[in-house]
Amino acid sequence: MNKPASDVRVALLRRLATAICLLLVTVAGAQAEQTFSFDSTPGKLPKTVVPLSYAIELTPDFTSLALPGIETVDIEVREATAQLTLNAVNTTFTEVTIDDGAQRAEVSTDAAAQTATLTFAKPLAVGRHRLRIAFTAQINKFGTGLFSVDYPTPSGIKRLISSKLEPADARRIFPCWDEPSFKASFALTVVIPRNLLAVGNMPIASEEPVAGDLKKVAFAPTPNMSSYLFVLTVGELERVTADAGGVTVGVVTTAGKSGQGRFALDSAVKLLGYYNDYFGVKYPLPKLDLIAVPGGFGGAMENWGGITFFESRLLFDPATNAETARRGIFAIIAHEMAHMWFGDLVTMAWWDNLWLNEGFASWMATKASEQFYPQWQSWLNGYGAKQFAMTLDARRTSHPVQQPIADHSEAVTAFDAITYNKGQALIRMLETYLGEQAFRDGIRKYMAAHAYSNSTTADLWQALESAGGKPITGIAASFTEQDGVPLVVAETTCDGAMQRLTLRQDRFVIAPANDPSLPAHSWQIPIAVGPAHGKPFDEILLKGSADIAAGTCGDAIKVNLGDVGYYRVEYGLKNRAALLNAFPQMQVIDRLNVVTDSWALVQAGRAEPPSYLALLDALDAGDHRAVWDQVISTFATLNRLSHDRSARPVIQAYARAKLRPVFDRIGWDGRSGDDDTALLRASLISTLGDLGDAAVVAEAKRRFAAFLDDPSSLPTTLRDAVTHVVGITADRATYDRLLALARNSTATNERLRYYFAAASARDVELARATLALTLTSELPDTIVSGMISTVASAGEQPQLAWDFVRANFDTLLARQGPNFRDQFVPNFMTNFTDEAHAAELAAFAPSQSTSGGRVMVARSIQAIAISADLAARVLPAADAWIRAHKP
């Protein structure tokens, strides 16, 4: 019997909820972390055979995108076996032999497991052997494995190839043991056209002409490293270099753009010296290249000796970049270079410890920014990273920082804000608890002990405890081995003239009202508490509850002074009132902490919306950018949730009324340069445009028109914001002009600016035109999914975009690769806030086809439910309060 559609939806959602609960039980039951042992390290490949070194020759065909190759792998057979299993994807095996042709292997492949099994007639004896494989792989059109990028130049479209292999895509280039614990040396040779430059992990050892117009380029062998750190980029490239203590540091760009790499080169040189000193182990390779790739993927990848970057994340052109762009460029370089130690020199044993790579690189990048550019106030202005992690970590679908990872598809899901941002916040909290010097001593011991090898979290805790003289394993484990966010409930009472503060723990949870309760957790939490505008009391390690003296009755007491701790705070009524009275005297970071926790308590249903809205009245229009950024973020959330709802006009009017005085204070024009005011100005223009501020929209259009006649009339600091406002309000003529600007530019950041502004158009016919454009060859494949998402979010056409994705799914999947199915579709669906779309996602079979896809679907269904619950609770209450208090 067929079930009604509503019953099917309910059944699907119940099954997913059950699956999530089972996943949580599995995680909660995981055993405590052990120190590194190769044999006990998780993974899919047998450990009976291990690679020692690879010699790989590749002959990429830039036209057909075929990738023929021959590799010789020296292996160690640890147990006699007639079968070798290694990784390979979309690879044709031509011939496989062992020990100079002593035996030939039969090859069978498993596409789902992404493995190839080599079977020999006679078992291989224990000891060393040499494996030779002739094969043909393929160069992809999407940014995974070895991929091609077609990019515009003044002389026409050019093509280069580059690689992106994390977490497990070296197997798409050559057959290999593609798990991080199988470290080996890689010696690469490539046969390419003579007019091209090839860049790899190591310097070029030799280069010689071969038949036709080709040349053979051989690179020096790498030290032992994991396969995902292999890199190859080939194209019409140029390189500028500098010496940094005997290491050649280079910036590699497409022809004509090397001058835009000067800031990146200078930054890399200073960072290399800083990191050499901090880690106590010098960078061990003879060269380090930063490679600007004009497509393929949108971020950066820490390949050892050859870091690849999406071009706009690395290059700085004062003609097209705002001065403030230097912050992002420096931060991403600092992050990726920190990986040369955390990730490359010392590598997590398996993807369950990915946070050892990403959390530390994120922390180190901010620490380096504070070191060289303290005026940027990177911890303060980067507060949003921790807030985002805490929002995700408060959900049922969160996961521990150290999480079980079953396979390569689940490894992809680990690259999230819990791994990066919670990891970063935890490291900062532990550094503060131990002290900077003791913490650094521990990091140096860890690096020295595990160089060129693998490690686990337990190895790190051992090194830090040994150096710091304080027990931290219990503290750290309570944050890394279980999911969730601590809530510290703080209440003051008076005993005569004296005041006491009671602290107790709870679990901070954001969930729909009808969700079952999550299991209770307990943490060991370093607490900084003291007067709202004074020094903290003695250090507190909160293991359950505490009761301490807290000054004179009525004093405002602030918990989490400095906002270094990873926890939320809920104050009793008396102390909250005292804090609001002391609000102007607090440090900026403490005001910001109170504002962010106040909104978080509303999200969790522990406070009513009026409590947060009333707090906004205590803010001064001249407060710090970081404070107003939090308010802007909240207004953006309310604006999104109220789409197509009756409360939207009231909420938009209120948001405009709160933000206009801030904008009017700083105005449209200010001194040029890199400062927080410029960043706040741009953010306010974009937000007020989104909120329908007629004066801001009109002025943005006027300035854009003037820019078309005289580009120098619009400062680079305003171009993104002004173009965005013009985009969302575009008519056909304006839309066509934006596309023309994108098509006529060869600067990646400019092209993105105009394409995404066009995709923001709220006119439905223009939205359809943008969606159609994503099926053509005009757009870089890198931005196709982003363009579709922009139509749904900024363009406010989610249903139109979803219908388009479903109708063209096979075509888009072929162009975008498996991440489109496993990552993009679930994330895209969080544009919706209703059960029907959650059920559609649950029933969307392609995204349920891998374990990683199922994880992402579960997370997105929970996010949709939370948005629906928040809209139902918060919008009516906010609407009523605004009408009563701000007519």
Q: Is the Cβ–Cβ distance between 817 and 785 less than 8 Å?
A: no
**In this structure, what token pair is assigned to residue 518?**
């999550």
Residue 12: pLDDT over 80: no
**Strands 127-138 and 66-77, sheet pairing:** antiparallel
> What pLDDT digit, counting tens, does each position of 625-635 carry?
999 999 999 99
Query: Once rounded to an integer, what is the mean pLDDT over residues 25-54?
Result: 75
Q: Is the Cβ–Cβ distance between 802 and 828 less than 8 Å?
A: yes
The pLDDT value given to residue 824:
95
Dist CA 630 CA 658 (whole Å) = 13
Per-residue pLDDT band at 15 (split at 50, 70, 90): very low
The pLDDT value given to residue 297:
84
The pLDDT value given to residue 22:
35
Three-class DSSP labels, 548-580: EEEEECCCCEEECHHHCCCCEEEECHHHHHHHH
Comparing CA positions, the residue from 512, 546, 551 lying closest to residue 535 is: 551
> What pLDDT digit, counting tens, does each position of 314-343 carry?
999 999 999 999 999 999 999 999 999 999
The pLDDT value given to residue 138:
98
Residue 189: pLDDT over 70: yes
Name the percent of the chain lying above pLDDT 70. Answer: 96
Query: Once rounded to an integer, what is the mean pLDDT over residues 772-790?
Result: 94
Residue 28: pLDDT over 80: no
Per-residue pLDDT band at 672 (split at 50, 70, 90): low
Mean pLDDT, all residues of the chain: 93
> What pLDDT digit, counting tens, does each position of 76-112 carry?
999 999 999 999 999 999 999 999 999 999 999 999 9
Question: For the chain, how many residues are written?
Answer: 887
Residue 803: pLDDT over 80: yes
Residues contacting 134, CB < 8 A, separation 6+: 69, 70, 93, 94, 95, 96
More confident of the two residues 668 and 538 = 668
| Active site residue ranges | 336
> What pLDDT digit, counting tens, does each position of 349-403 carry?
999 999 989 999 999 999 999 999 999 999 999 999 999 999 999 999 999 999 9
The pLDDT value given to residue 409:
87
Residue 531: pLDDT over 90: yes
Residue 865: pLDDT over 50: yes
Per-residue pLDDT band at 514 (split at 50, 70, 90): confident
Name the percent of the chain lying above pLDDT 90. Answer: 88
Residue 38: pLDDT over 50: yes
User: Model-level pTM?
Assistant: 0.93
Strands (E) across 33-114 are located at 49-58, 66-77, 81-87, 92-98, 103-104, 106-110
The pLDDT value given to residue 9:
37
Residues contacting 262, CB < 8 A, separation 6+: 240, 251, 316
Element (H, E) at 593: helix 588-603
